[in-house]
Amino acid sequence: MDRIEKLVGNLAKPPRLSVERAKLYTDSMRNTEGEPMILRQAKALKNILENIPIQILDGEL
């Protein structure tokens, strides 16, 4: 199987759930109570993107 076929095959697999992502989102939402929801969601995303490790699997580079 070549690299492209393997990458396409990975797209068909169900996504993995991340407990760490959920915890970062929840922590941020707790810390921003009282702010407008759109800002809370943006800050939660920022918190996730700044703190979750990047995962690069074999053959992705």
pLDDT at residue 25, rounded to an integer: 98
Range of the domain at 30: 24-51
Handedness of CA 57, 60, 50, 31 (dihedral sign): negative
pLDDT tens per residue, range 20-39: 999 999 999 999 999 999 99
pLDDT at residue 1, rounded to an integer: 65
- Sort residue 36 into left (φ over 0), alpha (ψ -120 to 50) or beta: beta
44 vs 9, more confident = 44
In a domain, 17, yes or no: no
For residue 48, the surrounding DSSP H or E stretch is helix 37-51
Contacts of 6 (CB under 8 A, 6+ apart): 59
User: Alpha-carbon distance 9 to 32, whole Å?
Assistant: 39
In a domain, 57, yes or no: no
Model pTM score: 0.71
Q: Tally the domains of the chain.
A: 1
